[in-house]
Structure 1
Amino acid sequence: EKKEEKKVEEDDEEDELDAFMAGINQQATKEKADAIAKDITRRMGKEEEPKVDDKNKLGRTDIDEEDMQESFMKFLEEKKASATEEEDVYEYDEDGNIIWTWKKIIDPLPALDHSTVAYQPFHKNFYVEHDDIKNLSWMDTQRLRRKLCINTAGHGVPKPVASFAHLGFDEGLMKEIRKSEYEHPTAIQAQSIPSALSGRDVLGIAKTGSGKTAAYLWPAIVHIMDQKDLQEGDGPIALIVVPTRELALQVYQEAKRFCKAYNINVICAYGGGSKWEQSNELQGEGAEMVVCTPGRIIDLVKIEATNFTRVTYLVFDEADRMFDMGFEAQVKSISDHIRPDRQCLMFSATFKSKVERLAREALNDPVRIVQGEVGEANEDIDQHVEVLPSLDAKWNWLTARLVQFVASGKVLIFVTKKLNAEILADKLKKRDFKLVLLHGDMQQHERNEHLVKFRGKTIDLLVATDVAARGLDIPEIRTVINYDIARDIDTHVHRIGRTGRAGQKGTAYTLMTEADKEQAGHYVRNLESVNQEVPKELLDLALKAPWFKSSRKEGGGAPQPSGPGARFGLGYQPKQRPTGPGRGKEHNPLTANLNKPSGSGMGMGGGGGGG
C-alpha cells in the first residue's frame, strides 16, 4: 500500500510538471502564431505607416520588410526600454543587433562597502609644467585653445601644450611616440594629457579619430610605473573599459606597443574570446593594465580570476556606445566597485543624458574638454551626398567609380543589413574586385582574419555592416561609401569617422534615393554643422518631408557652429603595431626625465594628490 501511495504521489508530481510544460508550450505556440500573423499582415501592406521621429529615427520601411529579425529586434528594444532590468538580458553586437547565440545574463557586480577595504595610498599628480607653458598668458592660452578648437570647463584646468617636449616624458616613451610617427599632440591630447598627468579626472567629448586612445594610455604608463610591483593575486592597476571586441583589440595592440619599453604586461579580456585562457593569463602572469569589455570583466571578477583592489586608474572609452548597447548597469557597477579616490577618465563622441549621469557619479571635479561640436562629424572628411533615382542607379554609380576609389587608398562600403552586405559582396566579386566581408553574425576568429587581410597590402576593399562603424582604426582608409544610409545620425558620424583619422584627409559618399526623404533632413543638418555645402538635390529631397519643411518655415534647421571653423590637422601618421608585452617595471617615464631616481616603490613620482 505504501508503494502504491508513493507511486500515486510521483504520478501527481509528474502531472504538475506536465501541466507546467504544456502551459509553456501553449504560450510559445500562441506567441509564434501571433508573430506569423503580424508578419503576414505587414507583408500585405495592411500595417499603418510607421511614424518617423525626426530626432532619433532613420529606419527605412523597405529595409525592414527584407528582414524579420529587424522587427523582432525592435520589439526587444522596446521591451528593454520599458523595464530597466531588461538592459542586462540581451547582449548587442556592434551594428545594434541581438547576438543570436543568446548568451547568459551578466548581472552587475554586487554592492561593495569601501570602508571595509584597507586600500594603500598612491600618487597621481606627476605633472611639472614646462617653462614655455608656464609663461603663457591667459590670452595666449585661450588663443591656443581656439586654434585647437577645444573648450574647457572645471576648476584649475591645466594649460594645453603645443609639443610633446612640454609633457616631460622620458626618452623611452618619446622614442615609441616618434616610432609611431606622431609629430605633434592632437587637440584632445594637448589638453587631456596635462590634465591626466596632474591627477585630475577627465571628461573628454571628442570627434572620432581624435587620438584619444594615446591620450589615456600615456598617462596610464606613468601612473603604473610609480606603483609597487604586482604581487601574487593582485589585479590590474589600470583598467580600460570599452564597448566592443574590435575596439578592445585595437586599444590592446596600441597599449602593447607603448608598454613594451617598460615591461608592463597588458591583457585583453573581451566577450567572444576564450574565458579560460583570459582567466589563466590573469591568474598566472597577472597584468598591470587590462583592456576589457564590461560583461567579460564582470564575469572574470565573479570567478575570482582578477579583482579591482589595485585599480587606481580607470578609463571608460566610448561611454555613449556602452549605454547604447545596454551596458549601463554593468558600467556603473564596475565604477562603484573601484576605490572612490581612483583617477577616472571618460571619453565619448556624444554627451547623452545617460553619459552625463555616469559622469556626475563616476568623476570627481573633472576637467571637461569638448572638441568641436558635441556629436558632430569630422571636418577633416569631405562629405558628398548623392541623390539617385533608383536602387539600380546606386549600383551603377558604385561600379563606375570603385576602381578609381580603390586606386587612391582603402575603401570601406557600409550596408545596413548583413544579407544585403553578402549580396553586394558577391556581386562585386563577380566584377573581379578583391574584397573581404564583415558583419555581426561572423565568428570572432573570422572577423579577425578578415580585418588582418584588410589591414594588409593585398585587399583594399571592405564591405561591412555597422559592426565596423566604431573602433576600426585603419588610417589608410581614404574613402567611405554609405551604400545604405545609417539608421541614425550618430551611427552615420561614426561610419564616416573611419576615414579622416587624426588629421588625415578622407572622403565619404552617402547614396540616397526617394525612399530616404524622411531622413534627408538629418543629413542636411549634419553637413551644415560642419560648414560643408549642402547639394541642392539633397535639400530638395529633405523638403519633401513635412517635419523638415515645417522646421525650416519656423526658423529651425541647422545648428550654427560656435567658435572658429579652422581644423587642426596636426600631422598624425599611420601607426605600426608590434606585439610582445612583458611584465614587471624598469623605470618611471616621467620621473626619470626629471632627474629623480626611478624605481617601483610608491611615491616615486612628483606631486601629491592621492590617497
Structure 2
Amino acid sequence: MAEEDWGQWDTQTEPTYYPKMTYRNSNNSHKNPDDEFIEIESRLAGIIIGKGGSKIKSIQRESEAHVNIIDSDTYGLKTVKISGNASAKERARQIINNIIDENDPDKIRQKIQQESTAYESTIKPISDNDWEQLMKEQEEYQKKKLAALPPIVKHVYKEHQEVTAMSDEEIEAFRFSKNNIMVKHVNEDNNEPIPKPIVHFYHAFKDYPEILEEIKKQNFETPSPVQCQAWPIIMNGHDLIAIAQTGTGKTLAFLLPAFIHLERQAIPRDKRKGPSILVLAPTRELVLQIENEVNKYSYKGIRAMSIYGGASSGKQKECIRQGVEIVIATPGRLNDFVGSNSIDLTDVTFIILDEADRMLDLGFEPQIRVSLLPVRPDRQTIMTSATWPPGVKRLAKSYTTNPIQVMVGSLDLTTVNTVKQEILFMEDEEKELWLDDFLKNINEDDKVIIFVNKKVTVDQLSADLCMKNYNVESIHGGREQCDREMALESMRDGSVSILIATDVASRGIDIHDITVVINYDFTKDIEEYVHRVGRTGRAGKTGLAITLMSRRDWSKAKELIEVMEKSGQDVPPELHDMAKRFEAKKERERAEGGDRPFRGRGRGGGRGYSSYGGGFRGNNRNNW
C-alpha cells in the first residue's frame, strides 16, 4: 500500500471479545483425560489469579479443586486447567463463571446504561429563562441572608519588613528567577497594588509560628515559585487564579492560608453549621491526595474529610454530621449531597476550585454551579489550573471577584526540563516484547507508571505481566475505589513498583519518587501527554519518560515536537519526518477537496536497542 493511502486504514475499532467460556476435555495423550480446560480472555487471567495469587488460592480452597492457568493455542486467550473430582470441578467452574460474569464488558455496559437511563429520567431540563429566574431569586435570597451574617475576615497578613524593603527592580528580578512568575489583575481597570512576593517561609508566616513549625516538620527548604506569590495575595484577602503545571506546589499554596482563614472567622468553629472550607477537585485520587496533604499538618485540630463517588455515601454523611471544618469533594458527589440536604454549605467562606480546567473537561460545570448556590457570594475564592482556556475564564468570571492571576512559566503547554523524554518508534505488536525486555533491566529502586488509553488494555497488560511474575498494580475508572486506593498506596510504600493506568492517573497523583513514565499508547491529546510526563521529575528530582509511537500516531508529531523543543529535549529526526509527511498528506487532501478524518495504521519494521536499561528501539525508518 502506498504511503498516501495510510489514512484509509482504520485501526480504531472496538476490540473483538471472545466467547465467555469454552469447556472441553483434552484427548491428548500427554494430558489427564479427566482434567477440564476453560478458555478465557487474556485480560481475565490476572483477575482470576489475584494479587500475589490470592484469588486463585481462594478458588482452590473453596472448590477443593486444583486450578492452574496456562497458555492457550489461540491468540488473545488463556486456558484455565481444572483437576479434581466431579463435584470439585463443578464448584470451581461455577466460581470462575461468576468472576467472568462480573467482568463481562457487555453486561457492564448494559448495567451502566440502565443506571444512566434511570438517573437521566429523574432530571428535569432547565431552560435558559428558568435558569435566569433561578439566579435572580438566588441573588435576592443571598442579599437578605448576608445582611444578617458577620463579614468574612479575609485579610490575615502583615508584610515582613524584609519584603517591604525590596525595590521594584529586585522584585522583578526575583520573579524572573522563580521560573518567570507573571502576575496581574484580571480586571484591567483595577489599579490596586499587587502584593510583593515572599522569599522565605517566615516572610509569610512570621505571625503564625505553628504553621512554621509544621512546615519545618516536612523538611521544605524554600517556597516554590507559585507559593512565593500566592501566599501574600491570598492572605491579603484577594481572590486568586493560579496557573501552573502539576507538581509545582499549588496544593500547599492554598491550604496553609485556608487554615489561617478558618481560624480567624468571627463565628466560633463549634457554632458553625457546616464546613468553612470547600475544595472541589476533578478526580477521586486528587481529592484523596488533598485530604492526605491536610492531614500532614496538625494545625489547631482542624478536621477534614473527602467525599467522592465509589465510596459509601452513608459513612461520608455520618462524618459530616459529626462535624468537619474542611470538605474536599468531587463535583458529582457534592451535587448529590447538596441536592439531598446532606451537607450545609451556608458557613463556607473559602472555596478552592482545584484543576478547574480538568473539571470542565470532564463536564462538571453544571454540578459546580448548582452546588455552589448555597455558598455566600462574598466568600474568598481560589482557582488553580494548568491552562487558561475560555471555559476557565468563564468560570473565573462567575465565581471570583477582582481576582489576581499568578502564572508560573508559560501558558503554552510544556514539560519540565528535569524529565528526559525519549521517543521510540515501533508497531503495536512489538510493544509487549519491548516492555518485557525493558522491565527486566530496570533498577530495584525504580518506580514505573505505564499509561495506556483503554481500560481493557490495562486489564490485559496487567494479567500478562502478572503471568510473567512482575509485581504490578493497575488503576482505571472501572475499578472499585478501594482497589484504586490500594494500588496507589502500594506504589507509595514501595510494595509494588509498576503501575498500569489510564489517564485517570495522569493528573493529581502525587507519588514523588516515580522514576519512569512509559506512554505505551500515545495520548489522545498533547495536553494529556504533558500531564503524564509530569508524573515523574517531581520536587526537583530527575525522571525519564518513554513514548512508544506507531504510524497511527503521526497526527500528533507536530505538537509533540513543539512541547519537546520548549523543554530543551532532543527531537529525533524520525519525528520531524513523521510530522512533515502528515502535513503533506493534509495538503493533498485539501487540494483534492477532501476533508475526511484521518486514521493511520502502522506496519511491520525492525528493532534496535535503547540506551536505558536495554529494551528494543525503533530503527531510523526513513519510510516513516
Q: Structure 1 length normalisation: TM-score?
A: 0.72
Give a deviation string over 1:178-218, Cα, whole Å, max 9, x none: 22221111111111111111111000110111110010000
Bigger drift between 448-457 and 433-442 goes to 448-457
Matched letter for residue 257 of structure 2: P
Matched letter for residue 290 of structure 2: V
**Partner of 1:254 in structure 2?**
293
- The count of aligned residue pairs is 465
5 Å-filtered alignment, 1:521-560, equals: 521-546=558-583
In 1, the alpha carbon distance for the partners of 2:416 and 2:407 equals 15
Give a deviation string over 1:403-453, Cα, whole Å, max 9, x none: 443434211000111111222222222332111111111111111122221
Give a deviation string over 1:92-115, Cα, whole Å, max 9, x none: xxxxxx976845357899642311
**Partner of 1:37 in structure 2?**
none
Contact conserved, 2:419 with 2:536, CA < 8 A, in 1? no
Bigger drift between 494-503 and 245-254 goes to 494-503
The alpha carbon displacement at 1:116 in A equals 2.3
Matched letter for residue 233 of structure 2: S
Matched, 1:325 2:362: yes
Give a deviation string over 1:113-136, Cα, whole Å, max 9, x none: 311213221211111111111111
Distance of aligned partners of 1:204 and 1:514 in 2 relative to their CA distance in 1, 3 Å threshold = same
**Partner of 1:243 in structure 2?**
282
From 185, 192, 201, the counterpart of 2:230: 192
5 Å-filtered alignment, 1:167-178, equals: 167-169=204-206, 170-178=208-216
In 2, the alpha carbon distance for the partners of 1:342 and 1:369 equals 20
Matched letter for residue 199 of structure 1: G
**Partner of 1:280 in structure 2?**
318
**Partner of 1:266 in structure 2?**
304
In 2, the alpha carbon distance for the partners of 1:223 and 1:316 equals 16
Contact conserved, 1:378 with 1:500, CA < 8 A, in 2? no
Matched letter for residue 251 of structure 1: I
**Partner of 1:455 in structure 2?**
492
Matched letter for residue 551 of structure 2: E
The alpha carbon displacement at 1:345 in A equals 0.3
Contact conserved, 1:128 with 1:168, CA < 8 A, in 2? no
Partner of 1:545, secondary structure, is helix
From 172, 194, 206, the counterpart of 1:142: 172
- If asked which structure has higher relative contact order (CA below 8 Å, sep 6+), I would say 1
Give a deviation string over 1:517-576, Cα, whole Å, max 9, x none: 11222211111222322111111112110269869xxxxxxxxxxxxxxxxxxxxxxxxx
Matched letter for residue 183 of structure 2: T
Partner of 2:450, secondary structure, is strand
5 Å-filtered alignment, 1:145-164, equals: 145-149=175-179, 150-154=181-185, 155-164=192-201
**Partner of 1:66 in structure 2?**
15
**Partner of 1:132 in structure 2?**
162
Distance of aligned partners of 1:445 and 1:493 in 2 relative to their CA distance in 1, 3 Å threshold = same
Distance of aligned partners of 1:151 and 1:427 in 2 relative to their CA distance in 1, 3 Å threshold = same
Contact conserved, 1:406 with 1:461, CA < 8 A, in 2? no
In 1, the alpha carbon distance for the partners of 2:159 and 2:565 equals 39
**Partner of 1:183 in structure 2?**
221
Partner of 1:296, secondary structure, is helix
In 2, the alpha carbon distance for the partners of 1:67 and 1:219 equals 53
Contact conserved, 1:236 with 1:311, CA < 8 A, in 2? yes
Distance of aligned partners of 1:236 and 1:548 in 2 relative to their CA distance in 1, 3 Å threshold = farther
The alpha carbon displacement at 1:66 in A equals 2.6
Distance of aligned partners of 1:67 and 1:444 in 2 relative to their CA distance in 1, 3 Å threshold = farther
Contact conserved, 1:405 with 1:479, CA < 8 A, in 2? no
In 1, the alpha carbon distance for the partners of 2:358 and 2:521 equals 21
**Partner of 1:72 in structure 2?**
none
In 2, the alpha carbon distance for the partners of 1:65 and 1:362 equals 41
In 2, the alpha carbon distance for the partners of 1:442 and 1:514 equals 31
Bigger drift between 161-170 and 464-473 goes to 161-170
Matched letter for residue 493 of structure 1: V
Contact conserved, 1:265 with 1:287, CA < 8 A, in 2? yes
Distance of aligned partners of 1:354 and 1:434 in 2 relative to their CA distance in 1, 3 Å threshold = same
The alpha carbon displacement at 1:61 in A equals 4.7
From 346, 351, 356, the counterpart of 2:388: 351
Contact conserved, 2:418 with 2:540, CA < 8 A, in 1? no
**Partner of 2:433 in structure 1?**
396
Distance of aligned partners of 1:50 and 1:442 in 2 relative to their CA distance in 1, 3 Å threshold = farther
From 390, 405, 416, the counterpart of 2:442: 405
Matched, 1:216 2:257: no
In 2, the alpha carbon distance for the partners of 1:528 and 1:102 equals 46
Give a deviation string over 1:147-175, Cα, whole Å, max 9, x none: 11211112422111111011125332222
From 399, 413, 428, the counterpart of 1:376: 413
Contact conserved, 2:335 with 2:368, CA < 8 A, in 1? no
Contact conserved, 1:469 with 1:491, CA < 8 A, in 2? yes
From 116, 122, 144, the counterpart of 1:116: 144
5 Å-filtered alignment, 1:6-155, equals: 61-66=10-15, 102=115, 104=119, 111=135, 112=138, 113-117=141-145, 118-149=148-179, 150-154=181-185, 155=192
In 2, the alpha carbon distance for the partners of 1:405 and 1:548 equals 39
Q: Structure 2 length normalisation: TM-score?
A: 0.70
**Partner of 2:269 in structure 1?**
230
The alpha carbon displacement at 1:263 in A equals 0.6
Distance of aligned partners of 1:539 and 1:49 in 2 relative to their CA distance in 1, 3 Å threshold = closer
In 2, the alpha carbon distance for the partners of 1:494 and 1:315 equals 21
Give a deviation string over 1:338-395, Cα, whole Å, max 9, x none: 2221110000011111101111121111110111122523324424242323224323
Partner of 2:269, secondary structure, is coil
In 2, the alpha carbon distance for the partners of 1:194 and 1:224 equals 17
In 2, the alpha carbon distance for the partners of 1:186 and 1:125 equals 22
In 1, the alpha carbon distance for the partners of 2:168 and 2:388 equals 28
In 1, the alpha carbon distance for the partners of 2:372 and 2:177 equals 34
Partner of 2:381, secondary structure, is strand
**Partner of 2:101 in structure 1?**
none
In 2, the alpha carbon distance for the partners of 1:386 and 1:67 equals 29
In 2, the alpha carbon distance for the partners of 1:49 and 1:296 equals 45
Partner of 1:407, secondary structure, is coil
The alpha carbon displacement at 1:288 in A equals 1.2
**Percent of residue pairs identical:** 34
Could you say what the CA RMSD is over the residues aligned between the two structures, in angstroms? Answer: 2.6
Distance of aligned partners of 1:232 and 1:191 in 2 relative to their CA distance in 1, 3 Å threshold = closer
Contact conserved, 1:235 with 1:310, CA < 8 A, in 2? yes
Matched letter for residue 161 of structure 2: D
Contact conserved, 2:284 with 2:330, CA < 8 A, in 1? yes
Matched letter for residue 136 of structure 1: M
Partner of 1:532, secondary structure, is coil
**Partner of 2:339 in structure 1?**
302
In 2, the alpha carbon distance for the partners of 1:100 and 1:373 equals 42
In 2, the alpha carbon distance for the partners of 1:548 and 1:151 equals 40
Matched letter for residue 582 of structure 2: A
Which runs of no fewer than 5 residues in structure 2 stay unpaired? 18-110, 186-191, 589-624
Which runs of no fewer than 5 residues in structure 1 stay unpaired? 1-47, 52-59, 69-97, 552-611
Distance of aligned partners of 1:181 and 1:405 in 2 relative to their CA distance in 1, 3 Å threshold = farther
Give a deviation string over 1:270-310, Cα, whole Å, max 9, x none: 11221111111112x21111111112122222222222211
The alpha carbon displacement at 1:401 in A equals 2.4
Partner of 1:161, secondary structure, is coil
Matched letter for residue 171 of structure 2: T
Which structure's CA Rg is the greater one?
Answer: 2
Matched letter for residue 281 of structure 2: V
